[in-house]
Amino acid sequence: MNSISNLAEKFGITTRTIRYYEELGLLKPSRTEGGRRMYSSSDVAKLKLVLRGKRFGFSLEEIKEMVLLFDEDRSGDKQLKRTIKYGEEKLAEVNERIAELEEIKEEIERLITEFKGRLQG
C-alpha cells in the first residue's frame, strides 16, 4: 500500500494530480481509520497506464475508458480491443503529423539553400 505522497514522489507528479484522477474514478484508494488515502498495487498499475496514455497523447476520457474496461471484463479482451482501436487512431494521427513535419523540413531546407545561393551569387 502506498500513501498519496509516496505515489506522487514515485511518479514525479503532484498529489493534486492523483486526487484529480481519483475524482475521475481512475483510482480508488482505501482509507485508514484516520482518513489517509492508501493506494493498492492495482491503483499503482492504473496510474502507470494513465501516465503512459497521457505520454502517448490520449485524452483522459480515452484513458479512463481503456483503464476501466479491465474492471468490467477481467479477461482483458475488451480493454485490449479498445486500446488497439485507440492506438491505431493515434498512430494515424502521429503519421499524419510526421508527414506534415517532413514537408515543413523540406521547405525550410529549400529556403536555406535558396538564401545561401543568394548570398553567394
For 70-81, the pLDDT digits (tens) are 777 778 788 889
Which pLDDT score, from 0 to 100, does residue 70 have?
74
Q: What single letter denotes the amino acid at residue 81?
A: K
Which pLDDT score, from 0 to 100, does residue 73 have?
75
What is the pTM assigned to this prediction? 0.75
pLDDT in tens, the chain (121 residues): 999 999 999 999 999 999 999 999 999 999 999 989 999 998 999 999 999 999 999 999 999 998 888 777 778 788 889 899 999 999 999 999 999 999 999 999 999 999 999 999 7
* Domain 2-120 architecture: Orthogonal Bundle (1.10)
E strand or H helix that includes residue 39: strand 37-39
Which pLDDT score, from 0 to 100, does residue 86 have?
92
Chain position carrying cell 474492471? 71
Cα separations in angstroms, 120 against 75, 81, 106: 67, 58, 21
Spell out the residues 6+ positions from residue 17 whose beta carbon is closer than 8 angstroms to its own. 8
- Written as nine digits, the cell of 108 is 525550410
Q: Indicate the average pLDDT of the chain.
A: 92
Which pLDDT score, from 0 to 100, does residue 74 have?
76
